[in-house]
Amino acid sequence: MSMLSGKAGHDLFVYGSLQDPQVVYVLLNRVPDHVSAVLSAFQRFRIKGRVYPTILPDGSGEVTGKVLKGITDAELKILDDFEDVEYDRKAVEVMLTDTSEKLQVETYAWKNKDDPDLYREWDFEEWKRHDKEDFITATKKFLEERKLPEAKTRIDTFKTFFKHDFENGKPMDS
Helix extents (H) in 62-111 = 73-83
How much is the average pLDDT of 20-43? 97
Contact call for residues 157 and 142 (beta carbons, < 8 A)? yes
The pLDDT tens digits of the residues spanning 56-83 come to 999 889 999 999 999 999 999 999 999 9
Ordered by start, the domain boundaries in the chain are 10-122
Confidence of residue 154 (pLDDT cuts 50, 70, 90): confident
How much is the average pLDDT of 34-41? 97
* Residue 101 annotated in active site: no
How much is the average pLDDT of 136-163? 78
Q: What is the pTM of this model?
A: 0.85
CATH topology for 10-122?
A: Hypothetical upf0131 protein ytfp (3.10.490)
Active-site option among 83, 86, 93, 126: 83
Give residue 132's Cα distance to chain centre: 13
Q: 18 CB contacts (<8 Å, ≥6 apart)? A: 24, 27, 66, 68, 79
* Closest residue by Cα to residue 39 from 67, 63, 12: 63
